[in-house]
Amino acid sequence: MEEPTLPLQSSDASKVSLINLPIEIKLMIIDILAKQYDGWFYSRETYGDLKGIAQSSRVFYQLCFRPRAFYATISLDPSLIKLFKLGGLLEHHDGDIRSLQLNHVPLSYADENISDGHENSISWLRTGIQALPLFSTIRILYIAYGVPNVLERNFFFATLRVLAPLQALTVLRFHVTVHYNRLYQTYQDIYSNISSTNQQFLGEEIHPDEVEAYMAEHLPNFTFPKLESLRISLAGAGQYELDLPTPHPEQGRFYHKLLMATPRTRTLEIKWIDIKPIPRDHEIPQNLDQKLTILNSIPSDTTFPHINRLEIETSNSRISHDFEKIVTLFPNLKYLTIKLPTGTLLNNQWEFNSTLHQPIRKLKRLQYLILPWPRLLERGSYSMRGLTHMCHEWHKTDTPYLNSITFCGEKFPVSEDYDMNIRLYIRYRRKPKNSDRWVPYLSGDTSYFAYWDYGPHNQCNYEDESYSSDSDIYYESDEYSDYSD
């Protein structure tokens, strides 16, 4: 008869703790836990288990690092950088990092006018940027920093010099907040008061007419051969609060260098907004959106046929005049999105003009389109019926693959608690089913009373009388009764 197994004594129990297990068993435990993710993210329980084991000892911390970091985004800061340097705890794990995030400490208006504030801000960013080559195999990189407007150009190119060796990048998110200072400091005012290390990082001032020569000398073969997705996000702070003059036309004519270095990019996002919206009674500057010179700065004979998804968000509704430029640069778009920040449509206008919208018809492969809901200050939002018929003409004659159009707009609310956002969704379906006849199905704010303005402002919303028939318009509520005809 087999003798019963006696429970382990306390002295024996300590011998079978996780720390004392053979390395093979440790690796098996970690491997089992590491395989319990859903393909992209660990479950809360799995992540907690790995974190708990990692905290049990130095050995387990190192063993668990790779599975924990493989599907995570590492936020880079000075204390973490030390761990990856020679002699650091994680010096052999730099190749395990796939996704990095570098968030620069926000630059406040107060710091901007103090020499120590500039020094600390530049030092923090320089330390993070210069550590990036430690992770030469990263796939995803998010960089965000704030910079005084007079340092903007030099910061950008100092960053590019460090990014150049990161040839494995597939996704790059680049966010810059430009601070317009109160003391109207020049580049030399700041440069002369920072440390020699930071001076070396920034270099001598790069003037607008020196950009091409600088690229030829310092970045002659600058490219990201594997980059598939690029986002350039720019925000301005302080320009209107300080009543600064309109930006110099040459100010933003260098961000396009990122785009020019991406031969395989499929997705492009461009964003330029002012952090504080322009007051309603503020005259709109003609040169408000200089950062869209990202597109205007590209050589006229250049196109990007590989880009099929484009998203633009801007504070300036005059982007509606740039459709021809967009279509010329990106002739093979399948997804096109143009957004205006909340409040923008009420302060100025997204002009509705069939001539301005005509270039969209040249995008023969276009499938999904998102645009601001057109409105005029004196007349309010354009009619749902007019928008639908315009898009139906596109679909019938020029853009046969156009499946979905969304118009996103705003109206003057009846009160502050009232939702002022309006949406119109147009989806194309065959009717009858399996026929060659495509018709628009509408949903969202399809009723005139759903998108007309309340209150004393802009009550002259209108329906376009030239589109008096709804014979070709259907609604999502009709889909199940009509779609099967």
- One-character DSSP codes across 335-387: EEEEE--TTHHHHS-----HHHHGGGGG-TT--EEEEEPPEETTTEEPPHHHH
Residue 248: how many other CB atoms lie within 10 Å: 12
Contacts of 349 (CB under 8 A, 6+ apart): 317, 374, 375, 376, 377
The reported pLDDT for the residue numbered 94 is: 58
* Residue ranges making up the domain that contains 169: 72-302
Residue 108 located in a structural domain:
yes
∠ CA 30-35-40 to the nearest 5 degrees? 125
What ranges in 102-238 are assigned the alpha helix state H?
A: 109-112, 115-131, 152-163, 187-191, 196-202, 211-218
Whether residue 417 sits in one domain with residue 376:
yes
Residues 370 and 269 in one domain: no
Residue 182 lies in a domain: yes
Q: What is the mean pLDDT of residues 55-70?
A: 64
Mean pLDDT across the stretch 71-75? 70
Q: Is the pLDDT of residue 44 over 60?
A: no
Number of neighbouring beta carbons within 10 Å of residue 292: 21
- C-alpha angle 158-205-161 in degrees, rounded to nearest 5: 15
pTM score, two decimals? 0.79
Q: Is residue 308 domain-resident?
A: no
In a domain, 327, yes or no: yes
Q: Is residue 257 part of a domain?
A: yes
Task: Compute the mean pLDDT over every residue in the chain, rounded to the nearest whole number.
Answer: 75
Q: 79-128 pLDDT, tens per residue?
A: 767 766 666 656 665 566 788 888 875 554 444 444 456 788 888 888 88
Residues 433 and 369 in one domain: yes
The alpha-carbon radius of gyration of the chain (Å, integer) is 28
* One domain for residues 431 and 446: yes
pLDDT: which is higher, 241 or 194: 194
Q: How far apart are CA 364 and CA 385, in angstroms?
A: 24
Q: How confident is the model at residue 341 (pLDDT cuts 50, 70, 90)?
A: confident
Domain boundary (245, 274, 302) is at 302
pLDDT at 462: 47
Tell me: pLDDT of 261 over 80.
Answer: yes
Q: Can you tell me the distance from the alpha carbon of 20 to that of 88, in angstroms, rounded to the nearest whole number?
A: 24
The answer to the question of residue 389 being in a domain is yes
Indicate the residue among 237, 268, 302 that finishes a domain: 302
Residues 393, 334, single domain; the answer is: yes
pLDDT reading at 311 higher than 90: yes
> What is the reported pLDDT for 8?
47
Does the pLDDT value for residue 2 go beyond 70?
Answer: no
CA angle 257, 328, 269 (to 5 degrees): 50
Assess if residue 42 is contained within a domain: yes
**33, 133: one domain:** no
E-strand stretches of 170-321: 171-179, 229-237, 267-274, 309-314
How many CB atoms within 10 Å of residue 476?
A: 14
User: What number is the average pLDDT over the span 198-226?
Assistant: 92
- CA distances, 164 to each of 144, 153, 158, 223, 444 (Å): 17, 17, 10, 7, 46
279 and 392: one domain?
no
Given the structure tokens 């907004």, which residue do they identify?
273
Instruction: Assess contact for 145 and 78: CB atoms under 8 A.
Output: no
Q: Is 359 within a domain?
A: yes
pLDDT value of position 283: 47
Indicate whether 94 and 117 sit together in one domain.
Answer: yes
Same domain, 40 and 92: no
What is the predicted pLDDT for the residue at 386? 85
Q: Is the pLDDT of residue 372 over 60?
A: yes
Number of structural domains the chain divides into: 3
Count of C-beta atoms within a 10 Å radius of residue 469: 8
